[in-house]
Amino acid sequence: MSITTKSAELECNTEGGCDAIELVITPRSTDLGDFSVRRTLPNKERQMVGPWIFFDHMGPADFPADKGISVRPHPHINLATVTYLFEGEILHRDSLGSKQTITPGDINLMVAGKGIVHSERERPEVNGVPHRLHGLQLWMALPEEFEEIDPAFYHYPSRDIPAATIDGVSLRVLIGDAYGLVSPVKTYSDTLYIEADLQTGQRLELANAEERALYVAKGQLKLKDKVINQYDMVVLSEAEGVVIEATQDSRIALIGGKNLGPRFIEWNFISSRKERIEQAKQDWLAGKFPKVIEDEVEFIPLPK
């Protein structure tokens, strides 16, 4: 993992407003077997941005026939997962009985609460031919008062996600509210997740949040005189009027929201209480979590 840090420096001008870069993170590559992901959060310098505690960029990965995503059933507690695809599809199943194909532009929100198990596979008609997968997977911590709620699953098709064109820039408010748009996706605290596509030379003033970070999924940007390269995440201060400019055709994700305080994280378990994670580990070893419906045989063992 490569991490560049500097103290927040506030710079202002009449054209670009003010910007404050607190931290620049270059993700580390994590091998998942048939493909690898770029993992930006958590890292040793920054655990969370708002409620967001996990940020993976999957692909773009090209698979031959009979190869692809096949993540066996595994558990989560005290968090919510968000899956968002640019290309390809994933078949989600969980212990509530949910069975949902995720396609580009959809939002899949799985709320683990007191405990859920899910798998991520592919439909046979997808897996049986050459195919591509590209997208983001994020986890958000739940506020302490919601950590032990009943698990739930919500699917929002692409057509239900609000979109707008701001100064020529196409953007979507996936979670939260910004630019006069309000997402229908359920939240448990102040949460922000925006995607935007900028053509070379286009500029966009970023929405504000208590905490926020900008990720460049494709292309290259300038923030004042600072170049932000593809796959970099820039953690920003609360400065208003932050304007980015695309030096290449670019796709960005802006995440953020309310600071929920630190969390413990081990394997797939996140909680405000370390003893809760220990309990979840023992429950998984003892087979006390529910089974994924229609995917009851395989599972991922607890790492030693």
Query: What are the domain boundaries of the chain?
Result: 2-8+16-285
Pairing verdict, β 177-178 and 169-175:
unpaired
- The structure's pTM equals 0.92
- On the question of pLDDT at 146 being above 90, the answer is yes
SS3 67: coil
Q: In this prediction, what percent of the chain has a pLDDT beyond 70?
A: 93
Contact 210, 258 (CB under 8 A): yes
* Confidence band of 211 (pLDDT split at 50, 70, 90): very high
- On the question of pLDDT at 8 being above 50, the answer is no
pLDDT at 225: 87
Contact 170, 251 (CB under 8 A): no
Bridge partners for 193 per DSSP: 175, 255
pLDDT at 11: 41
- On the question of pLDDT at 200 being above 80, the answer is yes
pLDDT at 31: 72
- On the question of pLDDT at 270 being above 90, the answer is yes
2-8+16-285 CATH: 2.60.120.10
* Confidence band of 247 (pLDDT split at 50, 70, 90): very high
pLDDT in tens, 74-98: 999 999 999 999 999 999 999 999 9
pLDDT at 30: 78
- On the question of pLDDT at 19 being above 90, the answer is no
- Dig out the tokens for 229 from the structure: 């390269």
Q: Token pair 């229908």 is at which residue?
A: 184
- Dig out the tokens for 41 from the structure: 């959060």
* Confidence band of 243 (pLDDT split at 50, 70, 90): very high
- On the question of pLDDT at 46 being above 80, the answer is yes
In Å, what is the CA distance from 180 to each residue of 84, 163, 169, 189, 256?
22, 10, 15, 19, 17
- On the question of pLDDT at 155 being above 90, the answer is yes
- On the question of pLDDT at 250 being above 80, the answer is yes
- On the question of pLDDT at 189 being above 60, the answer is yes
Mean pLDDT of the chain: 92
pLDDT at 53: 98
Phi-psi domain of 105 (left: phi exceeds 0; alpha: psi -120 through 50; beta: other): left
Number of residues that this document lists for the chain: 304
Q: What contacts 253, CB < 8 A, 6 or more positions away? A: 136, 193, 194, 195, 214, 215, 217
